[in-house]
Amino acid sequence: MLKEIWSHIVAFDKIIIHRHISPDPDALGSQLGLAALIRHTYKDKMVKTVGFNEPSLSWMGEMDGALDEDYEGALVLIMDTANSARIDDSRYKLAAKSIKIDHHPVVEEYADINYTNTSASSTSEIVVNLYEFNKEAYQLQLSEEAATCLYTGIIADSGRFLYDNTTIDTLKATQLLYACEIDRNKIHECLYRRSLNIVQAQGYVLSQFEVSEAGVAYFKMPLDVQKSYQLTTGTRSALVNTLANIEGVLVWVCLFENEDGRIRANIRSNGPAIHEIAAKFDGGGHPKASGAMLSKWEKSQELLDELNEACQMYRRETMNV
Kindly tell me if the per-residue pLDDT of 320 is higher than 80: no
Could you report the per-residue pLDDT of 12-68, keeping only the tens digit for each?
999 999 999 989 999 999 999 999 999 999 999 999 999 999 888 999 999 999 999
Strands 216-221 and 210-211 turn out to be antiparallel
Q: What is the C-alpha to C-alpha distance for residues 13 and 74, in angstroms, rounded to an integer?
A: 7
Burial 137-165 (b: 16+ CB within 10 A, else e): ebebebeebbbbbbbbbbbbbbeeeeeeb
DSSP letters along 249-299, please?
-SEEEEEEE-TTS-EEEEEEESSS--HHHHHHTT-EEETTEEEEEESSTTH
CATH architecture entry for 2-191? Alpha-Beta Complex (3.90)
Q: What is the pTM of this model?
A: 0.85
| pLDDT grade for 237, boundaries at 50, 70 and 90 | confident
Give CA–CA dist 101/71, Å, rounded: 19
CATH class entry, domain 196-318 = alpha beta
In the prediction, which pLDDT does 235 show?
A: 85
Domain spans of the chain? 2-191, 196-318
What type of residue is 321?
V
